[in-house]
Structure 1
Amino acid sequence: MNHKKIVAPLTATTILSAFAPLAAQAQIQTEEAETSSSNVIVVTAQRREQNLQETPVTITALDSDALDQQGIVDVQGLARAVPNLQLLPATANPSTLQIGLRGGAEQVGGLIVSEPVVGIYIDDVYRARLQGSNSQLGDVERIEVLRGPQGTLYGRNNFSGALKIITRTPSASDEWVNGSIGYGSYDEVKATASVGTGLTDTMGASVSVLYRDVGEGYIYNRATGEDIGKEENIAVRGKLAFQDGPFEATLSATYSRDKNDGYIAVAGNLPRVPTGRTDFVTTDDITPRFGTDPYIVEYPQESSGRTETIAVSLNAAYDFGDVTLRSITGYVDLEDDWRWDLAGGFEPSPGVYSAAFDRSAESTADQFSQELQLQGEALDGKLNWIVGGFYFRETGDQSITDDIPLFGLNNLDPTYLSIKTESYAAFAQVDYAVTDRATITVGGRYSVDHKDFDASIQSGFGTPNPRTAVSLREKFSSFTPKIGLDYEVSDDLFAYASISKGFKGGGFNGLSILDPSVLATAYEPQSVWAYEGGLKSTFMNGFGRANITVFYNDISGLQQSSLISPGSFAIQNVGDATVFGVEFELSLSPIEGFNLFANVGYQDGDYSFLDPTSQAAAAGGTDLPLVPDWTFQTGMNFEENLNDDLVMRIGIDGSYTGDSFSEVTNAIETKAYFRSNAFAAIATDDRRWELKFQVDNLTDEATYVAGFTGTTSPGFTILKPRTFLASLSFAM
């Protein structure tokens, strides 16, 4: 099959005009909507339950129904529903992501030394590694994506936001049995099951299982004659929840394993090797290396990935009346390995295939975290307060091996990395209602990171090859304050403004070839002062919401991944930057069974100062990586009774991502692209059974989103072609 590259993506104006008649009809039929308390979306962004529309934080909240309606089955899919959020494949394996949000970016998530700029939390437990971040979403109650620094109330490295996954928790009074089985493109088989029940008058238990196997690949390897791109995902979670009067506790244990064919860089050609911003190329300039099909590679070696995670957490609280004490304890054990060819292989002579840039890694990491919170109310409910402490400890090891015939470097000795991190923090936040409608928020967090790094690298050639050891010890500390004001303009209009500071600690580098100086160079922290204001409005008897946010981020010491020498990458503090942006979210549910959403994000990110010694300055970089100018998401779903026994559901959504650069040098620009998805389903009237047909990448566009451009044999990241999944689900 030939796949056509995007040339002229749909524009936001075109999409809005298509939905305009639907929105107008929805407005006319507002009076038919019934007021219901279910229209209130409850979030825990400020570590207590609040109405989404009365929380002075920019949040996108998606419950299980919203995830189902938009066909979001993994974390990467969240970029289809959140303005300005970038989630792209990382050069590791499909379970690892690049993350970009409001100017913060992390692009080398497959390393044991890498830490996210967006804090990831599963059931309130911080996950330090980006390995495994692209988890399959099974038995999820709600996802909250908080945008802007969360430096006061959250654990570590919430520089530009936080992503919270809240899984379903049992109780003594709840009982459920549900599951699904499906089959789709490339021999995909997917099955899920979840069971919850009460064990006693005070205890409930649940078990959920997810299994997914993609048995055939979507990329052809002409060197081996095989298709690659296979995946296998297994996840099992068990929960025990206890509640007796003022005391409650939830114990959770999770096991997950992702096996796959690794990160796959497809083979392509460029008209020239770009040198930087003044000589950049775009993804529109890429042509497939072989004919017209872009889904082809040519390397003889194995490409693979595996991530295995065990996580245990205990969340316990005691309500003393006006004061609640909470303890959140978490442990995570991670094993991760991957192997791939960054350039897609090459053919040095006809019919003879060789690796081009063959890199592999094996790593282990384990972390322990403990958080204590004390929160309550005072002054007849006018004062809400929280104080707490946070402790985090992590150790990890990784070996990285390179074989790079493209550069004449073969069978290099492994590089060994070892880390140890200890982090301490104390935090407090107070919300005081100065009037019935106006509230002031003041908070702050003081954090200290102690980081140790030991490494060993081949530093030359000989018999045996000489090696150099590196040992570094660093301490980073910060105070991240926040001050905010919110005002309830009316029962349906909520305004807020804030000034806050975000911080991401410094760290160490791990990608180097024959150059110990790269590993021996630590990078410094980065920080941001964020200025934000927004309006949240509710209308149409609660069935409509329109929220808008304006933000300005002033970033200092910006950390960005840079190419130091062929095959060696390092995080550099390239300088300072500013990001101005606007985010708008609209959702309408005007009549029973009809839902419409539309989100718009705009960003203008520029360097305000560049260190003249940085790679960004040397290449003439002007734009921040992973900061598209526009993002747009829209969709609708509709359901209608076919008769007394059957219900039909249909839905479609699309996401537009504007122009952006994938490298600090601005050497390659990812051109704007549009992806669309759709589903159709028939369910019984009681919703016990449903047959659903889901299509992703409806128009079957071949979309390049990044590239390795430093050689005449470049490799590129390409998103998946069109896929379908038919599934049968039940709920009892």
Structure 2
Amino acid sequence: MIVRGSLALILASAASPALAQQVAAPAGAVTLDELSVTAQHRPERAGDVPISLGLRTAADLDRHEIRRADQAINEIPNAQMGTLSGSLYTNFTAIRGIGSGLIDTDPAVGFYKDGVSVGNSQGYSGGLLDVDRVEVLRGPQGTLYGRNNLAGAINVISSLPDPARVFGDVGIEYGRFNQLRGFGIVNMPIGNSGWAVRGALSGSRNDGYTPNLATHRDLNSLEDLHGRFSVKGDITDTLEFIGSVESQSQRSYDAAFQRDQDFRAGRARVDILDPFHGTLDTTTARTQFTLKRENGDRIVSITGFQDRNNEYRGNTFPRGYFAPLEAQYQAFGIAGFRYRTDNPFRGSYQQFSQEYRYISDADDRFKWLAGAYVEHSKGSSTYDLKSTFSPGGFLTGDSVSLASKADIATTAVAGFVDGSYALTERLKLFAGARVGHDWKDIDYRFSVDNPSFAALGFTAAFASSFRNTLSEAYVTPRAGLQFALNPEVNIYASVSRGYKSGGFNSAFVSVGDDRPYKSESLMTYEAGWKAQLLDNRLSIDGAVFFNDWSDQQVQVNNIATQSTPIQNALSSQSYGAEAEGRFRIDEHWSVRAGVGYVDATYEDFKNAIATGRSVAIDASGNQQQYVSKYNGSIGGSYAWKTGYDNLTGTIDVWYNAKSGFYFDAENTLRQPGYGLLNARISFENERYALSLFGTNLTDTRYRSIALDVGFGPLVAIAPPLMVGGSVRLKF
């Protein structure tokens, strides 16, 4: 009710800007910081962009102790980022309830790091190192960006080298569970050449927060080493160059599941032999050339390369979970049978992309851009499922491994245009279109390493090796109007089409799932407003939307093959609203709040795979997976001059909440609504900074993921209360 009431209040405030403006600002009042974005590839005030967007600046990230992309995204209304299995390598990202997570599929939400599309969702799970801002654009954005974006786009923009000054920033942080993090940033001009280099490095580790009875080692631990080097300068008076190389290595013990009844009983421990563990290594490089023409137009070339490798093994299931199945095998005569004692996974992904943009002068009445994009990627994944048994029976050896290996190659080409025309001083028309073509091919192989086990027929449900190809063309237009009610308030309305290509199931594919699943298309209708009120002390942005899409790609669990295939829901719908407000009360106090509402349902989803059972169900009318109807956040900040060593003290308190949601299409695995209370106090001047922080201060217990692979619901425990402190030195 609190979220619903806040949403109604903000909507009413924005609908009555004249009333809000009648309140005079006090003399000498402070104002909100100006928020500048490059969502449309030119510097603009966030309030002038006719797109529903969320923004977190470097200062926002620092004040809220945000170190990873998912932490930033989950603070923004109607946006979410999480995991599908409790492990780093399975990411789920959604905007307005539209998302996807299987690592071998195209993402529904585009993720861009410094202008380069991250075409594989494993790349979303990295840290935020020396970041200037994070922009979240809601709705299809194919007319503005190189890769196609069905649900929206996330832009992570790094801080650039500065040729005007030498500076550095180093710090260390320590917290509960022996969380230790250190970082360093150095910026250095190269003489008086106008060139500069910038380096950033961070490392972190923790002991984990989930006790494990079987090994006496805590799980959900993470070690991370992350570095980036960048250079910037002018080759000529009209040609600018930016280049960067970035690398990140992550090692984790994660995907620690317990039975749901144990979670509901309040037990914090798990009982897993040989816990799931592994590494995820990523290297990226990019170059950007910008040619500035005499008329103010710009020609931009962005080249990107990505290389990602991961290797995991171990077990995610509690001891005894598969006992009923193991008893059946033993009754069949296979003594000592133990199912899924090891689950190795190896994957690699390489991507090359090239994008060209022509961007008109921002001062023209007619602003436009045109672009061309090409991307080629290769992904390889190998999943193993190993079981053991006692030697000496009618089977040879003492183990059997089922293996599925898939190599997928993708080539995507596209051209796009987008622009706006000022019909009058107050009315603008904006429109764009994208034309693209995707080609995909798969080489899939399934094998059993023990012929005596294969002869029993237990693997008959798995598809044999196959090859397949896919070729699809598409067109995605966008159009709308923007109207300035006055210099402080503008409104807009738009309609756009989104598209996500079809693909292939690629892990333990069952018979019948070896055919390509269909492409997904979406129509989005949106109306919104941007308001700067009370002499720029109050900003309120918001939007309402309706999404109507066909052949939605839905990930489900097939317990017969222990796989997660994609099914197409014939039709789906979602509608809702989001709003964000900032209020600078005076020189000491400021408040920020955001609320979102999404009602997302499967309208026609017959023959969906049931949860935990090998039967088909009709999921039509069900709430979509992972989508909370209500979500929101509210936070306040108080800043003051301490009177000592020019230090400024700041207290930040913020609360994030979401209503209940389901982890499955059948709507049987539910996480009730919950909220997280967080706080930070800091003291900072131009030379150093000290801070104490706490997240999830009420130690709220909630599930980060839930699934059922046939023998009862399993859940992964989300992070508990975390407290710590940090010290920073600046020079």
Q: TM-score, normalised by structure 2?
A: 0.88
Say which of 515, 518, 543 aligns to 1:549.
Answer: 543
In structure 2, C-alpha distance between the alignment counterparts of 1:315 and 1:458, rounded to whole Å: 44
Say which of 287, 295, 298 aligns to 2:264.
Answer: 287
Question: Shift in Å at residue 607 of structure 1?
Answer: 2.1
The range that moved more, 491-500 or 38-47, is 38-47
Equivalent position of 1:114 in the other structure:
105
Question: Shift in Å at residue 94 of structure 1?
Answer: 3.1
Say which of 429, 443, 452 aligns to 2:418.
Answer: 429
Question: Shift in Å at residue 101 of structure 1?
Answer: 1.8
Change in Cα spacing, 1:307 to 1:319, as seen in structure 2 (3 Å) is same
Any stretches of 5+ residues in structure 1 without a counterpart?
1-8, 18-26, 271-285
Question: Shift in Å at residue 701 of structure 1?
Answer: 1.0
> What SS does the corresponding residue of 2:600 show, helix, strand or coil?
strand
In structure 1, C-alpha distance between the alignment counterparts of 2:264 and 2:601, rounded to whole Å: 30
Say which of 284, 303, 324 aligns to 1:311.
Answer: 284
**Deviation string, structure 1 residues 220-279 (Cα, Å, up to 9, x no partner):** 111122222221111110011012422111001001111111322233328xxxxxxxxx
Taking the TM superposition and a 5 Å limit, the aligned residue runs for 1:260-339 are 260-269=252-261, 287-288=264-265, 292-293=266-267, 295-322=268-295, 323-339=297-313
Question: Shift in Å at residue 396 of structure 1?
Answer: 1.6
Say which of 323, 337, 360 aligns to 1:376.
Answer: 360
> What SS does the corresponding residue of 1:227 show, helix, strand or coil?
coil
**Deviation string, structure 1 residues 7-33 (Cα, Å, up to 9, x no partner):** xx986659999xxxxxxxxx9994255
Are residues 1:419 and 2:408 paired?
A: yes
Equivalent position of 1:627 in the other structure:
627
Change in Cα spacing, 1:494 to 1:623, as seen in structure 2 (3 Å) is same
**Deviation string, structure 1 residues 518-574 (Cα, Å, up to 9, x no partner):** 3x2211110110000101100122222101100000111100012334312210112
Question: Shift in Å at residue 459 of structure 1?
Answer: 6.9
Taking the TM superposition and a 5 Å limit, the aligned residue runs for 1:440-519 are 440-458=429-447, 462-463=451-452, 465=454, 468-512=464-508, 515-518=510-513
In structure 2, C-alpha distance between the alignment counterparts of 1:510 and 1:345, rounded to whole Å: 28
Question: Shift in Å at residue 337 of structure 1?
Answer: 2.1
**Deviation string, structure 1 residues 423-445 (Cα, Å, up to 9, x no partner):** 00001112111111111111000
| Contact in 2 for aligned 1:263/1:305 (Cα 8 Å) | no
| Contact in 1 for aligned 2:571/2:605 (Cα 8 Å) | yes
In structure 2, C-alpha distance between the alignment counterparts of 1:525 and 1:255, rounded to whole Å: 33
Equivalent position of 2:12 in the other structure:
none
Equivalent position of 1:195 in the other structure:
186
Taking the TM superposition and a 5 Å limit, the aligned residue runs for 1:209-288 are 209-214=201-206, 216-243=207-234, 244-269=236-261, 287-288=264-265
**Deviation string, structure 1 residues 362-388 (Cα, Å, up to 9, x no partner):** 11111000000112149x711011111
| Contact in 1 for aligned 2:608/2:619 (Cα 8 Å) | no
Equivalent position of 1:22 in the other structure:
none
In structure 1, C-alpha distance between the alignment counterparts of 2:142 and 2:522, rounded to whole Å: 10
Question: Shift in Å at residue 460 of structure 1?
Answer: 10
Question: Shift in Å at residue 344 of structure 1?
Answer: 3.1
Equivalent position of 2:460 in the other structure:
none
Q: Which amino acid aligns with 1:156?
A: R
Equivalent position of 1:55 in the other structure:
49
Equivalent position of 1:670 in the other structure:
671
Are residues 1:530 and 2:546 paired?
A: no
Are residues 1:643 and 2:620 paired?
A: no
| Contact in 2 for aligned 1:90/1:263 (Cα 8 Å) | no
Change in Cα spacing, 1:387 to 1:16, as seen in structure 2 (3 Å) is closer
Question: Shift in Å at residue 52 of structure 1?
Answer: 0.3
| Contact in 1 for aligned 2:183/2:201 (Cα 8 Å) | yes
Are residues 1:590 and 2:585 paired?
A: yes
> What SS does the corresponding residue of 2:72 show, helix, strand or coil?
helix
Say which of 537, 560, 569 aligns to 2:564.
Answer: 569
| Contact in 2 for aligned 1:444/1:479 (Cα 8 Å) | yes
| Contact in 2 for aligned 1:526/1:558 (Cα 8 Å) | yes
Change in Cα spacing, 1:343 to 1:30, as seen in structure 2 (3 Å) is farther
> What SS does the corresponding residue of 2:504 show, helix, strand or coil?
coil
**Deviation string, structure 1 residues 364-419 (Cα, Å, up to 9, x no partner):** 111000000112149x711011111000000121110113689x996323211101
In structure 2, C-alpha distance between the alignment counterparts of 1:198 and 1:712, rounded to whole Å: 61
Change in Cα spacing, 1:15 to 1:115, as seen in structure 2 (3 Å) is closer
> What SS does the corresponding residue of 1:346 show, helix, strand or coil?
coil
In structure 2, C-alpha distance between the alignment counterparts of 1:639 and 1:701, rounded to whole Å: 28
| Contact in 2 for aligned 1:360/1:401 (Cα 8 Å) | yes
| Contact in 1 for aligned 2:374/2:414 (Cα 8 Å) | yes
> What SS does the corresponding residue of 2:282 show, helix, strand or coil?
strand
In structure 1, C-alpha distance between the alignment counterparts of 2:56 and 2:28, rounded to whole Å: 22
Change in Cα spacing, 1:612 to 1:489, as seen in structure 2 (3 Å) is same
Any stretches of 5+ residues in structure 2 without a counterpart?
10-21, 325-335, 390-394, 456-462
| Contact in 1 for aligned 2:403/2:448 (Cα 8 Å) | no
In structure 1, C-alpha distance between the alignment counterparts of 2:24 and 2:471, rounded to whole Å: 60
Are residues 1:397 and 2:371 paired?
A: no
> What SS does the corresponding residue of 2:421 show, helix, strand or coil?
strand
Q: Which amino acid aligns with 1:692?
A: S
**Deviation string, structure 1 residues 265-318 (Cα, Å, up to 9, x no partner):** 233328xxxxxxxxxxxxxxx524xxx32x222121232031111100011110
In structure 1, C-alpha distance between the alignment counterparts of 2:378 and 2:572, rounded to whole Å: 32
**Deviation string, structure 1 residues 658-697 (Cα, Å, up to 9, x no partner):** 12111122121221111111111122xx332111111111
Q: TM-score, normalised by structure 1?
A: 0.88
In structure 2, C-alpha distance between the alignment counterparts of 1:551 and 1:28, rounded to whole Å: 30
Change in Cα spacing, 1:339 to 1:16, as seen in structure 2 (3 Å) is farther
**Deviation string, structure 1 residues 447-489 (Cα, Å, up to 9, x no partner):** 1110010111137973484893210100122100000111111
| Contact in 1 for aligned 2:275/2:315 (Cα 8 Å) | no
> What SS does the corresponding residue of 1:569 show, helix, strand or coil?
coil
Change in Cα spacing, 1:682 to 1:205, as seen in structure 2 (3 Å) is same
Say which of 88, 91, 94 aligns to 1:94.
Answer: 88
> What SS does the corresponding residue of 2:536 show, helix, strand or coil?
coil
Q: Which has the higher contact order (CA 8 A, sep 6+)?
A: 1
**Deviation string, structure 1 residues 564-616 (Cα, Å, up to 9, x no partner):** 34312210112111101110101112322432111110111122222446659
In structure 1, C-alpha distance between the alignment counterparts of 2:349 and 2:86, rounded to whole Å: 16
Question: Shift in Å at residue 356 of structure 1?
Answer: 5.9
In structure 2, C-alpha distance between the alignment counterparts of 1:47 and 1:357, rounded to whole Å: 50
Question: Shift in Å at residue 511 of structure 1?
Answer: 2.7
Q: Which amino acid aligns with 1:296?
A: R
Change in Cα spacing, 1:119 to 1:502, as seen in structure 2 (3 Å) is same
> What SS does the corresponding residue of 2:464 show, helix, strand or coil?
strand
Question: Shift in Å at residue 647 of structure 1?
Answer: 2.4
**Deviation string, structure 1 residues 126-173 (Cα, Å, up to 9, x no partner):** 001111312211100011011111121113341111110000001321
| Contact in 2 for aligned 1:61/1:142 (Cα 8 Å) | yes
The root-mean-square deviation of aligned C-alpha atoms, in Å, is 2.8
Say which of 594, 599, 607 aligns to 1:599.
Answer: 594
> What SS does the corresponding residue of 2:401 show, helix, strand or coil?
coil
| Contact in 2 for aligned 1:342/1:356 (Cα 8 Å) | no
